[in-house]
A and B are shown apart, each in its own frame.
Chain A
Amino acid sequence: MTRIRDLIRHFGLPRIIIGLFLLLLFLVAPFVGVKVSTSLSDTLNRFGMNCVLVLAMVPMIHSGCGLNFGLPLGIISGLLGATISMECQFTGMTSFLMAIVFATPFALLLGWGYGQLLNKVKGGEMMIATYVGFSSVAFMCMMWLLLPFKNPTMVWGYSGSGLRTTISTEGYYLHILNDFLSIKLNEHLTIPTGMLLFFALLAFIMWAFLHTKTGTAMTAVGSNPVFARASGISVDRIRTLSVIMSTWLGAVGILVYQQSFGFIQLYMGPFYMALPAVSAILIGGASVNKASITNVVIGTFLFQGILTMTPSVMNSVIHTDMSEVIRIVVSNGMILYALTRKTEATR
């Protein structure tokens, strides 16, 4: 009995409840006419699309910079990489890799500046980060119009200048990771192996980094900055490093998202991307200064699973198309729940 209780405590009651609810949805699905295989496929897809963005939370949480509400900054770097890569007419896998290459300098630069800013507002990082995200999105809204992109698939057809709000990745890197080594189990269920492998690679690097000397220092800075300073660590430098890492992961994360989603969403697209990622990692059991790769995996799976399953099951139950409304209610409800939980940590 105590072992079971220990197990529950270790895993966290909220996760068990959410997990059971998700299981329930899968069990109910066939009886209301929702195909389990399609649902499972969707869930896997969404999981793969989002988990790198969720992973981008980890470095900043570890260094005590809080949750990365400034994720849009990383996403913007990714968008710049994506559009520049397309402008250069790279196609296929090259196009995807070049997008990462082009995005990297932006991520480093923006991340560095963002890090400097956060070092000046210790204690109030999350609020500042939120507005860094918002204002950078607004600034880029102007830039997308003004930047001299020429590729006809990207610019507005009637004026010949200014980028469109949504740009299709078809012909460039659509499903480039999804289709890599993908396993088609049946007509409705495909496992996006490449995308999952790519995430696994990044997660492994992250895990490994946290086991190095610098990674250890990062965790210590988050745990007690004064202690770290008294151990000869330059707290500001470690924090800046963590912010740069988070920003770069945000950039890569959005590229992974786009290749599966099929579209690059510019302008207001990045505006609300931070909250689902923040919520996912909180639901996964992370706290404001403790997070692990397991938190990322569990959190993303539960969050995206619920988000996929609830609307389709509910729709079929009440026979009206309310999927969008339900999706909004569920996702914001989960965000709300997650933010109230933000100090609880299970490791």
Chain B
Amino acid sequence: MSEKQMPLLEMRHISKDFCGNQVLSDVSFTLDKGEILGLVGENGAGKSTLMKILFGMDEIRITGGYGGEVILDGNVVSFASSMDALDQGIGMVHQEFSLLPDFTATENILLNREPKSPNFFAELFGERMDTLDRDKMEHISKKAIARLGVNLDPDMLVSQMPVGHKQFTEIARELSKEDSESAGQIRLLVLDEPTAVLSEKEADSLLVAMKKLASEGISIIFISHRLQEIIDVCDQIMVMRDGKIIKQVENKDINISEIAQWMVGREVSLVAAQKRQFDYENKEVILSVKNLWVNMPGEVVHDATLDVYKGEILGIGGMAGQGKLGIPNGIMGLYSAGGSITFEGKSLPLNNPRGFLDNGMAFVSEDRRGVGLLLDESLEWNISFTAMQVENKYLRKVLGFINWRDQEAIEKETKKYIDKLEIKCTSSKQKAKELSGGNQQKVCLAKAFAIAPKLLFVSEPTRGIDIGAKSLVLAALREYNQRQGTTIVMISSELEELRSVCDRIAIVTDGKVHGILPATSASTEFGLLMVGQSKQVAGGAV
């Protein structure tokens, strides 16, 4: 950092834990006036938490505050609420829009901070009856828009705007705050993935606007998953991973693959790495997905094409929201989907969970509590139900035609899985909701194993469970694959986890399968795929 100038913002030794779960430890960095800092990291690296601390969000205080100090212009500050942060000239633009759709740009920009002129009624009833000063409002919003250097009609309704303009409206709102009485001069702007929803062209004009703001002396913290943008626009690049700053460098001669490596290059020794060399030469394709689209909110798949080979473990990875979860949910038919799916040479009907199961596939959902479990029922029911309904297991005939539930068989099977997967429970009659997350996950796996599928989809099997349970779940999957020869497709946000279990890993970006690589590939290459750098590898030729 330059000696002659005091940095605008300094965060020193920031640490934060949520109920003992350390999400930030010893994070320190500085930001100069008029500088753009690019903040990158995988999901869950701690970027958002860091920004929440900076912005004084309630969430932080409620969960027990943070360690370390935030220094703004040489003074230690501690914001009691985000209003205080606003007063100090910090603005934040979130990923999701917070705009009123039926109001114009101007009205949104100045909402609740409108310049007012008094009138007769206001004399009688107080200032709530003040008239809005429309001319002045327009003047302020035009000024803010002009600072962005974009062409945005202040009278346009938000609902009629293209996404890019909504994003500009949000930024203009933060900028306009310096014109109202309460807030100080805007000095620092935090943009949390502002380009995620924008088209390339819109994103470009946003980047231009950011540079313009920076040249006027406003510091910007820019969070993005699109590394090219980071390289294009930022002065400093900061990479976070597991709540720590891995790297803070000046943006000089840095290429995308370096950043990608910093982002994902962690070594996790959950399970010893997958060592086997899967022989693709002599294997047949068990499942072939062509041009699949899935309308799953938040995980939309646009056009996924994928071949799964018999007996392999295929990983599907990618950033959150890019569509990796949509693939299994769509194939199973839980969300409306289109395209063509061929399983064992037969075309499979879409949007039909029963057809999916009847053909010998199973799905362990990422939504354990919502889809995966009967929370109010016993473990016996949870484990046996699907197999009972789909394959008529655990039933015996009474009077020749009544399918009677065979309690003995259910109990036996449940006990078997409780022992095998080390499910911690008081008895097989315990209700599923009383188990811990890891044990619930094991119940979900047992449910799928009970069907004895030919192809098993496992979605986020280790999400929200502790490290011990994690390795047990992964080991169980791998063992199941080896013993029974079951093909497994595992979807996970954690690349290292995929690399430790899978034979091949497909990376889904923007609703498409962006590339498939052998699990032994360097993490840099996966990082590149995740951020949209195309490198297609033919399915079989691994």
Minimal beta-carbon separation of A182 from chain B (angstroms): 31
Closest Cβ of chain B to A128, distance in Å, is 24
Per the CB 8 Å criterion, the residue count for chain B at the interface is 29
Q: Is the CB of B392 within 8 A of A224?
A: no
Binds A, one of B36-44, B90-98, B250-258, B398-406: B398-406
The docked-state distance in angstroms from the alpha carbon of A211 to that of B385 is 12
Contact of A232 among B389, B402, B405 (CB under 8 A): B389
Docked complex Cα distance between A301 and B192 (Å): 63
Residues of A contacting B363 in the complex (Cβ-Cβ under 8 angstroms):
230
Instruction: For A224, give its contact among B332, B374, B389 (CB under 8 Å).
Output: B374
A290 and B376 contact, CB distance less than 8 A: yes
Instruction: Given A212-B404, A220-B381, verify A230-B371 contact (CB < 8 Å).
Output: yes
Total interface residues on A, CB under 8 Å, equals 21
Q: B375 and A231: CB pair below 8 A?
A: no
Write the B27-56 contact mask toward A (1 if CB under 8 angstroms, else 0).
000000000000000000000000000000
A230 vs B388: C-alpha distance when bound (angstroms)? 13
Pair B381/A231 contact, Cβ less than 8 Å: no
Which residue of the partner chain A has the closest CB to B375? A224
Q: Whole-angstrom distance from the CB of B195 to the nearest CB of chain A?
A: 34
Contact in complex: A229, B353 (CB < 8 Å): yes
Most B C-beta atoms less than 10 A away, residue of A208, A220, A230, A231: A230
| Nearest A residue to B407, CB-CB | A211
Q: Note all chain B residues with C-beta closer than 8 A to A31.
A: none
Task: List residues of chain A with CB within 8 A of the CB of B376.
Answer: 223-224, 290
Contact A220 B385, beta carbon cutoff 8 Å: yes
Please tell me if A204 contacts chain B, counting CB pairs below 8 Å. Answer: no
Q: Please encode chain A, from 180 to 224, with 1 for each CB lying within 8 Å of some chain B CB and 0 for all others.
A: 000000000000000000000000000010011111110110011
User: A residues 11-42 with Cβ under 8 Å of B?
Assistant: none
- Known A-B contacts A230-B353, A231-B389; A216 and B373 likewise in contact (beta carbons under 8 Å): no
Q: Indicate if the CB atoms of A213 and B390 lie closer than 8 Å.
A: no
**Chain A residues with Cβ under 8 A from B434's Cβ?**
none
Interface flag for A227 (CB, 8 Å): yes
The answer to whether B375 and A213 have CB atoms under 8 Å apart is no
CB of A223 within 8 A of CB of B353, answer no
Decide if A213 touches B374 in the complex (CB within 8 Å).
no
Q: Given A217-B389, A233-B389, check contact A211 B377 (CB 8 Å).
A: no
8 A Cβ contacts from B398-441 to A: 402-405
User: Within the assembled complex, what's the spacing in Å between the Cα atoms of A212 and B374?
Assistant: 18
In the complex, per-residue mask of B190-221: 1 if CB is within 8 Å of any chain A CB, else 0: 00000000000000000000000000000000
CB distance from B487 to the nearest CB of A (A): 20
A234 interfacial contact with B, CB 8 Å: yes
Inter-chain CA distance A212–B392, complex, in Å, is 11
Please judge, given known A-B contacts A212-B402, A216-B405, A226-B371, whether A231 and B386 are in contact too, CB under 8 Å: yes
Interface string of B360-394 (1 = CB under 8 A from A): 00010100001111111100010001101110100
Residues of A within 8 A of B381 (CB): 216, 220
Q: Which chain B residue has the least Cβ–Cβ distance from A209?
A: B402
Pick from B354, B356, B373, B395: contact of A213, CB under 8 Å: B395
Q: Verify A224–B365 contact, CB threshold 8 A.
A: no
Nearest B residue to A210 via CB reads B405
Contact of A231 with B404 at beta-carbon distance under 8 Å, contacts A223-B376, A226-B370 already known: no
Residues in A whose Cβ lies below 8 Å from that of B375: 223-224
A213 adjacent to B334 (CB under 8 Å)? no
Residues of A within 8 Å of B479, CB to CB, are: none
B127 within 8 A of A: no
Shortest CB–CB separation between residue A97 and chain B, in angstroms?
22
Bound-state Cα–Cα, A290 to B381, Å: 15
**Alpha-carbon gap, A91 to B71, bound state (A):** 95
Q: Is the CB of A231 within 8 A of B390?
A: yes
A227 and B371 contacting across the interface, CB-CB below 8 Å: yes
A214 — which chain B residues lie within 8 A by C-beta?
403
Contact (Cβ within 8 A) B374 A220: yes
How many cross-chain pairs have Cβ atoms below 8 Å apart between A and B?
Answer: 70
Q: With A and B bound together, what is the CA distance between A94 and B476 in angstroms?
A: 63
Residue B358 at the chain A interface, CB threshold 8 Å: yes
A231 adjacent to B357 (CB under 8 Å): yes
Complex contacts, A223 vs chain B, CB 8 Å = 374-377
Interface residues of A in 230-246 (CB under 8 A from B): 230-234
The chain A residue with its CB closest to the CB of B354 is: A232
| A217 closest partner in B (C-beta) | B389
Q: Which residue of B lies closest to A290 (CB)?
A: B376
Using Cβ atoms and an 8 Å threshold, which residues of chain A touch B385?
Answer: 216, 220, 227, 231
B353 touches A220 (CB 8 A): no
Would A212 and B389 be within 8 Å (CB), given that A229-B353, A230-B371, A232-B357 are in contact? no
Task: From A224, A233, A234, give the contact of B373 (CB < 8 A).
Answer: A224
Tell me, rounded to whole Å, the shortest Cβ–Cβ distance linking B127 to chain A.
Answer: 43
> Which residues of B are found within 8 Å of A216, using beta-carbon distances?
381, 385, 388-389, 405
Chain A residues with Cβ under 8 A from B392's Cβ? 213
**Nearest A-chain residue to B390, judged by Cβ:** A232
| Nearest A residue (CB) for B410 | A216
Within 8 A of A (CB), among B503-517: none
Contact B403 A212 (CB under 8 A): yes
By beta carbon, the residue of chain B nearest A289 is B376
In the complex, are the beta carbons of B405 and A213 less than 8 A apart?
Answer: yes
Looking at the complex, which one of A215, A227, A229 makes contact with B374 (CB distance below 8 Å)? A227
State the CA gap A229–B355 with chains docked (Å). 12
Question: In whole angstroms, what is the CA distance A290 to B365 when docked?
Answer: 25
Contact call B334/A212, Cβ cutoff below 8 A: no
Instruction: Assess the B358–A213 pair: CB atoms within 8 A.
Output: no
Which residues 262-294 in A have Cβ within 8 Å of B in the complex? 290
- Minimum CB distance partner of A226 in chain B: B371
- CA–CA, A208 and B365, complex, Å: 32
Q: How far is the CB of B448 from chain A (nearest CB, A)?
A: 11
Contact A232 B334 (CB under 8 A): no
Q: B334, A230: Cβ atoms under 8 Å? A: yes
The closest CB in chain B to the CB of A208 belongs to B402
- With A216-B405, A227-B374 as known contacts, state yes or no: A234 contacts B388, CB within 8 Å: no
User: What is the CB-to-nearest-CB distance from A284 to chain B, in angstroms, rounded to a whole number?
Assistant: 18
A215 cross-chain contacts in B, Cβ below 8 A: 405
**A219 to B, closest residue via Cβ:** B377
> Which residue in chain B gives the minimum CB-CB distance to A230?
B371
CA distance A214 to B388 in the complex (A): 10
Please indicate the chain A residues that have their CB under 8 angstroms from the CB of B370 in the complex.
Answer: 224, 226
Binary B-proximity of A66-86 (CB < 8 A = 1, otherwise 0):
000000000000000000000
Q: With the chains together, A234 CA to B403 CA distance in Å?
A: 18
Residues of A within 8 A of B373 (CB): 224, 227
Residues of B within 8 A of A233 (CB): 354, 389
- 6 pairs, A vs B, C-beta closer than 8 Å: A211-B404, A219-B377, A227-B374, A229-B353, A232-B389, A233-B389
- Listed from nearest, the 7 A-B pairs whose CB atoms lie closest are A232-B354, A213-B403, A231-B386, A232-B357, A223-B374, A211-B405, A226-B371
A215-B405, A230-B332, A232-B354 given. 18 additional CB < 8 A pairs?
A211-B404, A211-B405, A212-B402, A212-B405, A220-B374, A223-B375, A224-B370, A224-B375, A226-B371, A227-B372, A227-B385, A230-B353, A230-B363, A230-B371, A231-B390, A232-B353, A232-B358, A290-B376
